[in-house]
A and B are shown apart, each in its own frame.
Chain A
Amino acid sequence: MPAAPRVPFKNPVVEWVDVRLPLFSLWRDRYAMMPVPRNLNGWWVSGALALFTLAVMIVSGVFLAMHYTPTTAQAFASVERTMREVNWGWLLRAVHMNGASLFFAIVYAHILRSVYYGSYKRPRELLWLLGVVLFLLMMATAFMGSVLPWSQTGYWSATVVANLFRAIPFVGEPLVTWLIGGPEVGEATLRRFFALHYLLPFAMIGVAFLHVAAQHVAGANNPLGIDPKSPQDTVPFHPRYTSRDLFGLAVFVLVFAAIVFFAPAAFVAPASDIPADPMTTPDVIVPAWYFLPFFAMLRSVGDLVVPFTAIVLIPAQLGGVLALFGALLTLLLLPWLDRSPVRSAVFRPLYKKLFWLLVLDLALLGYVGAQEPEGLCRLLGRLATAYYFLHFLIFLPLLPRIEKPQPLPSSIAEAVRE
């Protein structure tokens, strides 16, 4: 805490509490009165929306858990019962299922915002790393959640993913046995997935707290990517940004409600209405849309052979797993791969083009992930996977040598005035 003398509050109750535990001072100085760049645009609402969605997921999830039975014999039936007999159970389920999709949509927008405006660069590297940790936790939580209703979709996607991990040399087999609690996906898998699916969101609260704390230390980046230099460059967070966050929230909840009430099955996978059956493999096993780009990478890699021989260096399965983990690791390294001192894409003509190419590439991977990995789609998948790594590992590090950034404005206030 800073040693500056504290300003007393007029309300005696508030003052009494604040002297003993400075919650209100903290709120006033670190939130309401905190100076924030005056030029933030609507993309900066995404963080607040992500926090809100995390809360919605936890609340709806806790109530769903009250009616859920984590056994292979009962899980499917208990979910059906929630839908039909529990008061407002269908609403809980619709909120939780569609909430997961919207959570990913918001977080993808949030990540792309950070990538476009260079918010991962010094001094915000740790803030970015904590963000990537949140993203990994989200993916793990969503994956385990999709197994819980013990439907064909959930059961078989767990089996497919488990089999892929078996391809890791030496440790693959024991690792998978340890993770799923036995030789095959079954009772033990369901129970631990339930325990972890309940646990991880609370870990996310902790990490999100550190994430936001780190942002309050560094201060918010802004669309120009230049630091505020004088008081004219900033405004207090309240009331401008509080009111804008609230308006953004209202629009988001409106969209959320429209989906929940009028298209609740919009994101439902094909075989999620059939109970799990280890004896019948469904025709298609497609993960939720938010996993599709990563799923495409997992399946795009072929056997890596020694040229002109039939000796397989890296089998396709292992290659896929490596591509998946490589793609995520690359995200962690981003602050050190992009060496340009200019943050915002607004002043980087080449980077701006590359950014949109990357977005296209991810969209293409998403499309390929939903198709059978054959023929043209297989080729596209490989090219798009290769391009992803090309972007991050080759283009970004080389870019500062080629690119001439445009001149930066001398201050935020001046740029806003123009």
Chain B
Amino acid sequence: MKRTAALLLLALALAPIPAGASAPSPTTAVHEAEAAQAPLSLLWDAEPLQATRLRTGAGVLAFLAVFAVLLYILQRRAWAKRS
């Protein structure tokens, strides 16, 4: 139990820092003008949002996957214990 808890803390400490926090690129204004008429679905796919979105998403999912596995192990141990 203690070891799993320590592993959880370790995973939290090592969590990837989201890579998307950079300043908006100078081309944002141009994209904006174009995007003003774009359908919402296209808007989600528009640069520079899209690159940030996909990059951040990959990091978040990787972290969550590891986290979920650790929590699964924790859960298994809690249920294995007698009493």
Q: Give residues in A with beta carbon < 8 Å to B.
A: 80, 83-85, 87, 90-91, 94, 235, 239-240, 242-244, 246-247, 250-251, 253-254, 257-258, 260-262, 264-265, 268, 272-273
Please tell me if the beta carbons of A251 and B36 are within 8 angstroms of each other in the complex. no
- Name which of A85, A235, A258, A265 has the most chain B CB atoms within 10 A of its CB: A265
Number of chain B interface residues as a range: 20 to 34
Please tell me if the beta carbons of B53 and A268 are within 8 angstroms of each other in the complex. no
- Name which of B77, B78, B79 has the most chain A CB atoms within 10 A of its CB: B78
Please tell me if the beta carbons of B74 and A84 are within 8 angstroms of each other in the complex. no
Least Cβ–Cβ distance between A251 and chain B, in angstroms:
6
Which residue of chain B has its CB nearest to the CB of A241? B78
Interface residues of B in 35-77 (CB under 8 A from A): 35-36, 38-41, 43-44, 49, 53-54, 56-58, 60-61, 64-65, 67-68, 71-72, 74-75, 77
- Name which of B1, B40, B79 has the most chain A CB atoms within 10 A of its CB: B40
- Name which of A90, A239, A261, A273 has the most chain B CB atoms within 10 A of its CB: A261
Please tell me if the beta carbons of B78 and A243 are within 8 angstroms of each other in the complex. yes
Query: Across the interface, which residues of A come within 8 angstroms of B77, CB to CB?
Result: 243
Known A-B contacts A80-B36, A247-B68, A261-B60; the reply to A90 vs B44 at CB < 8 A is yes
Query: Across the interface, which residues of A come within 8 angstroms of B60, CB to CB?
Result: 257, 261
Please tell me if the beta carbons of B74 and A247 are within 8 angstroms of each other in the complex. yes
Known A-B contacts A250-B64, A264-B53; the reply to A273 vs B74 at CB < 8 A is no
Which residue of chain A has its CB nearest to the CB of B48? A84
Q: Tell me which of B44, B64, B67 contacts A265 (CB under 8 A).
A: B44
Least Cβ–Cβ distance between B4 and chain A, in angstroms:
9
Least Cβ–Cβ distance between A83 and chain B, in angstroms:
6
Please tell me if the beta carbons of A254 and B53 are within 8 angstroms of each other in the complex. no
Assembled-state Cα–Cα distance A253/B79 (Å): 22
Please tell me if the beta carbons of B71 and A243 are within 8 angstroms of each other in the complex. yes
Q: Give residues in B with beta carbon < 8 Å to A.
A: 1, 21, 24, 28, 32, 35-36, 38-41, 43-44, 49, 53-54, 56-58, 60-61, 64-65, 67-68, 71-72, 74-75, 77-79, 81, 83
Q: Tell me which of B24, B32, B38, B57 contacts A262 (CB under 8 A).
A: B57
Known A-B contacts A247-B71, A251-B68; the reply to A84 vs B57 at CB < 8 A is no
Please tell me if the beta carbons of A84 and B49 are within 8 angstroms of each other in the complex. yes
Please tell me if the beta carbons of B64 and A261 are within 8 angstroms of each other in the complex. no
Known A-B contacts A250-B64, A254-B68, A258-B61; the reply to A243 vs B39 at CB < 8 A is no
Query: Across the interface, which residues of B come within 8 angstroms of A246, CB to CB?
Result: 71, 74-75
Q: Tell me which of A85, A242, A262 contacts B54 (CB under 8 A).
A: A262
Please tell me if the beta carbons of A254 and B40 are within 8 angstroms of each other in the complex. no
Which residue of chain B has its CB nearest to the CB of A80? B36
Query: Across the interface, which residues of B come within 8 angstroms of A251, CB to CB?
Result: 68
Which residue of chain B has its CB nearest to the CB of A244? B75
Please tell me if the beta carbons of B41 and A268 are within 8 angstroms of each other in the complex. yes
Please tell me if the beta carbons of A265 and B41 are within 8 angstroms of each other in the complex. yes
Please tell me if the beta carbons of A261 and B40 are within 8 angstroms of each other in the complex. no
Assembled-state Cα–Cα distance A90/B57 (Å): 13
Query: Across the interface, which residues of B come within 8 angstroms of A239, CB to CB?
Result: 1, 78, 81
Q: Tell me which of A91, A247, A254, A265 contacts B61 (CB under 8 A).
A: A254
Query: Across the interface, which residues of B come within 8 angstroms of A273, CB to CB?
Result: 38-41, 43
Query: Across the interface, which residues of B come within 8 angstroms of A268, CB to CB?
Result: 40-41
Please tell me if the beta carbons of A247 and B53 are within 8 angstroms of each other in the complex. no
Query: Across the interface, which residues of A come within 8 angstroms of B83, CB to CB?
Result: 235
